[in-house]
Amino acid sequence: MSGILPGTRASRPSAPPPGPFLLPAHVPLLARALGGLSSSAPYWSRVDSVEAFSPGIYLVVDAQGRIVWLGMGAGDRGVTGRIKKHLEEPWKMATFHRVWVAPAYDQTSRAALKAAEGWAADALDLRTRMPFRTWPPSSNWRSLVGGQQAT
């Protein structure tokens, strides 16, 4: 007998396992996920000094260069606001090292950002390689992002 009571969960480690190593070919996929809503090429920053106040999607890596998070930021402070919120969690503060930001135009809808995040998760094969995480679906990507042109 294992000693685990029915209906109880095994405790989860404070930091989930990292994903694959970030490769140079992965970075352009972030802008591609935004399609015509991408306002500039992706760029990187240390997480503690990121200045990305526009909406967009972002990819966080640990000190070894492994992907640990993919997300989107919107609202008043854009990606920077979202990263600052993440850093309130101890395991993220200890693990997050650099962030690649793919900025979007200010008028980009939250629905389009979610679809772009889902498309990027699929393009990077993160649903398979990081099964403990979930991302928005990418099924509506073409209608929300694929045919969009920047205005």
Q: Assign 126 to helix, strand or coil.
A: helix
pLDDT digits (tens, 9 = 90+) for 56-86: 999 999 999 999 999 999 987 999 999 999 9
Q: What residue spans of 1-151 are helical by DSSP H?
A: 27-34, 78-86, 90-95, 110-123, 126-129, 141
- Sorted by where each begins, the domain ranges of the chain are 27-131
Residue 146: the pLDDT is: 76
Rounded CA gap, 74 and 6, in Å? 41
pLDDT digits (tens, 9 = 90+) for 88-124: 999 999 999 999 999 999 999 999 999 999 999 999 9
The amino acid at residue 49 is S
Contacts of 126 (CB under 8 A, 6+ apart): 19, 20, 67, 70, 120, 133, 135
- β-bridge mates for residue 24, sequence order: none
| Inter-CA distances, 83 with 4, 7, 52, 127, Å | 37, 34, 10, 21
23: left (phi over 0), alpha (psi -120 to 50) or beta: beta
Whether this prediction's pTM lies above 0.85 is answered by yes
